[in-house]
Amino acid sequence: MDWFWWMLIVFWTGGFAWLADTVRTALRNRHERKLELAEAAAQDRLAVEAARKPPEPVCGCTHHLAKHDKNGRCHERVEVPTAWDEHKKPLRYEPGQCNCQQYVGPQPLSQVFAEDLTDRI
């Protein structure tokens, strides 16, 4: 019965508050770790999905291959700066044509594979 009085004295002097605070902190840390693990799993899932996508045929001008003709000329409309301030920052823009000349992205399959070399008669 002697230990009962000692425990009662410890809890009266703040032992219970210390115990409750320790448990609360441990639960909060556990919750934060679980949230971090869930976020990491979501990022991994997004990375795997992105890795499964085929490469987009994008030119150096960031426009899709569908915007280029067979000669490589881009037909996309862009905003071209027409006036600048004293710090060389553009003030006004006008619509204009993209000036890129050549497609530099991944080659589509139709241009990678060669035709058959044998005659089938």
Structural domain including 96 reads 65-112
Residue 110 has pLDDT above 70, yes or no: no
Q: Indicate left, alpha or beta for 62 from its phi (over 0: left) and psi (-120 to 50: alpha).
A: left
Q: Would you state the structure tokens that stand for residue 116, as one six-digit string?
A: 């058959």
Mean pLDDT computed over 75-89? 88
DSSP state of 65: G
Q: How many domains does the chain have?
A: 2
* Same domain (yes/no): 47, 86: no
Q: What's this model's pTM, rounded to 2 decimal places?
A: 0.39
Are 1 and 49 within one domain?
Answer: yes
74 and 34, same domain (yes or no) = no
121 has a pLDDT exceeding 80: no
117 in a structural domain:
no
Answer whether residue 91 is part of any domain. yes
Mean pLDDT highest for which of 2-6, 56-60, 92-96, 102-106?
92-96
Helices within 1-121 (DSSP H only): 2-10, 16-52, 109-112
The pLDDT tens digits for 10-45 are 777 776 777 788 999 999 999 999 999 999 999 999
Is the pLDDT assigned to residue 104 strictly greater than 60?
no
Q: Are residues 40 and 82 in the same domain?
A: no
CA nearest neighbour of 75 among 103, 54, 55, 56: 103
